[in-house]
Amino acid sequence: MTNNWILPALILVPFIAGFACWLVDKLDKHLPRYIALVGMLITLGLTFILWKQGGYDYALGAKAPTWAAEFYVPWIKTLGINIHLAVDGLSLLMVGLTALLGVLAVGCSWGEIQKNVGFFHLNLLWSLGGVIGVFLAIDMFLFFFFWEMMLVPIYFLIALWGHKGADGKSRVYAATKFFIYTQVAGLIMLVGILGLVIIGYSADGRIEFGYTHLMGVANALDADPRTAGYAYALMICLFIGFAVKLPVFPLHGWLPDAHAQAPTAGSVDLAGILIKTAAYGLLRFVMPFFPAASAQFADIAIIFGLIGIFYGAWCAFQQTDMKRLLAYTSISHMGFVLLALYAGNILTFQGLMIMMLAHGLSSAALFIMCGQVYERLHTRDLRLMGGIRGQFQYLPFFLMFFVSALVGIPGLGNFIGEFLILMGSFAKFPTFTIIAAISLVFAGLYGLILIHKALFGTPNEAQKPHYESPLKDLNTRETVILLVCALGLLWLGVHPQTFLDISNSSMAWLANSYIPVQEIVDTTQQVVSQQNVEIQ
């Protein structure tokens, strides 16, 4: 195996740039911003180089994904722990999304963050580096290391630079709540990982955290009726670990508070990137490790997802805070992730891929716009807004565009993702799919409510004295950030094949690995019988 040094560089560049931001903070408060921006642009450039190198083809019958590039260095040999990084179409697109939103997060915090600028960028870039590590690590110990490591910087982002609540403690409360939820979920996931390692050790006498080895152990447990109960229990441990981060109802309690109190860059990180790590973990580990147990659990998972879709939409209706409304829409949209996952065919997996990219861009753009509106109106309370459409030239257009994207208007990326998911899941779960499709009506309603309350109507007289006169429209930096997101959503909506081609091989392997053992046997028998008939 030839080591590809781009893979560790993707993780190290944000770490090094973040550390440099902290070191130069005392010299000039603007210098950390430029270092952070250059660091994330280099990371994005490295992603493009990986894209151009190619190798994202699917080897039929392969027992593990076909990696386009790998990096392997032994680490703790006695415990079977190695620094093993690898990239395929799925992880490449996720790393690319992380790098792009990282650039936008640095850009949107340019004017917002004025204190401890260097330490802020250290935490922002280290959280992004940890996320990229999650997407690249295929040694389960290394994966867990990055999974836990990315949470600490986000805790500081919320606790130190978050918005104060009425009691002055809301941001610390929100950060602590986020940390407790995710730490407990991480420990439950660790139980599942260690359970697989111990069972593997009892079978062949070696401790090993490698992806292929643990997948073999899990598949053997999953396929044997005598050990299927153990496989189901370990699958639940991993599922809970990822479900809290997604978040799945009723494990979503940390999300609205974390979003409401986080700085704009923190919200971009949370909505655009962090919850995608959960969907990635379910795709990469839960489905291929435990195909039969996952199929058995499918109905339960989808019911939780459907409850989350309607619960998130209903809670979004009740919100007066712009950020909390958008936070609940994320909970609603993530219900589609579970439907796509457990329908388990290449159409839904490809739809999920497009949906993750499109939701990352649209939700990040809307949270950036929340920050822009707050900067001008000094409030996020929709009851205090109204009538601002006529006072700006560009801001209302972008707000309506991104709300339209979020609710799934045709021609934009979110529509393509949702359409593929619904089309692919209908054959297997027709009732669940119809119920999920009905929820799209509610998405349109809360989108219209947000636009109407923020942009139309009469300006609130009590709030007018707090406005600057005249209100400043979007500047060049803010417009460029939103244009990048808008063009990305248009490209996903008009030409999704660009991304579908990259992820196709990974999704084809995942779809094949998810088919329960008995279905494989039945399919094989049908093919053999058909061939015999043709020969005769």
Q: Residue 169: count other Cβ atoms within 10 Å of its Cβ.
A: 11
CA angle 247-427-240, nearest 5°? Answer: 20
| pLDDT for residue 142 is more than 50 | yes
The pLDDT assigned to 534 comes to 46
Overall average pLDDT of the 327-345 stretch: 87
The pLDDT assigned to 212 comes to 87
Is the alpha carbon torsion for 254, 12, 207, 231 positive or negative?
A: positive
What the block records as the tokens of 377 is: 């109106």
pLDDT, one tens digit per residue, over 272-319 is: 888 889 999 999 999 999 998 988 898 899 999 899 888 888 888 888
| pLDDT for residue 77 is more than 90 | no
Higher pLDDT, 104 or 380: 104
Q: Across 117-131, 318-332, 434-448, which has the greatest mean pLDDT?
A: 117-131
**Interatomic CA distance for residues 175 and 193, integer angstroms:** 27
What's the full length of the chain, in residues? 536
CA angle 166-167-170, nearest 5°? Answer: 90
Read off the pLDDT band of 8 (50, 70, 90): very high
Overall average pLDDT of the 438-442 stretch: 83
Angle between helices 346-377 and 89-108 in degrees, nearest 10: 0
Read off the pLDDT band of 96 (50, 70, 90): very high
Average pLDDT, the chain: 84
What the block records as the tokens of 27 is: 């010299």
The model carries a pTM of 0.90
Overall average pLDDT of the 84-90 stretch: 90
Question: Do the Cβ atoms of 249 and 308 come closer than 8 Å?
Answer: yes
How much of the chain exceeds pLDDT 70, in percent? 90
**Interatomic CA distance for residues 214 and 294, integer angstroms:** 16
**Interatomic CA distance for residues 251 and 338, integer angstroms:** 14
| pLDDT for residue 454 is more than 90 | no
Q: Across 45-54, 128-137, 332-341, which has the greatest mean pLDDT?
A: 128-137
CA angle 132-161-379, nearest 5°? Answer: 115
The pLDDT assigned to 531 comes to 42
Residue type, 22: W
Helices and strands, counts by H and E, the chain: 22, 2
Residue type, 185: A
Question: Do the Cβ atoms of 5 and 71 come closer than 8 Å?
Answer: yes
Overall average pLDDT of the 74-86 stretch: 89
Overall average pLDDT of the 259-266 stretch: 84
CA 407 and chain centroid, separation: 18
Backbone angles phi, psi at 48, to 5 degrees: -65, -40
Residue type, 470: P
Out of 24-33, 209-218, 426-435, 469-478, which region has the weakest mean confidence (pLDDT)?
A: 469-478
pLDDT, one tens digit per residue, over 189-224 is: 999 999 999 998 888 888 888 888 898 888 888 888
pLDDT, one tens digit per residue, over 479-510 is: 999 999 999 999 999 999 889 888 888 888 88
**Interatomic CA distance for residues 243 and 258, integer angstroms:** 16
From residue 143, give the alpha-carbon distance in Å to each of 75, 86, 133, 374.
Answer: 14, 11, 7, 37
Q: Residue 284: count other Cβ atoms within 10 Å of its Cβ.
A: 24
Per-residue DSSP letter, 283: I
The pLDDT assigned to 522 comes to 43
Q: Residue 85: beta bridge partners?
A: 71, 137
Q: Which residue shows structure tokens 């401890």?
A: 116
Segment holding 125, helix H or strand E: helix 117-136
Overall average pLDDT of the 414-428 stretch: 89
| pLDDT for residue 2 is more than 70 | no
The pLDDT assigned to 226 comes to 85
| pLDDT for residue 465 is more than 70 | no
The pLDDT assigned to 498 comes to 87
Read off the pLDDT band of 168 (50, 70, 90): very low
**Interatomic CA distance for residues 53 and 47, integer angstroms:** 10
The pLDDT assigned to 9 comes to 93
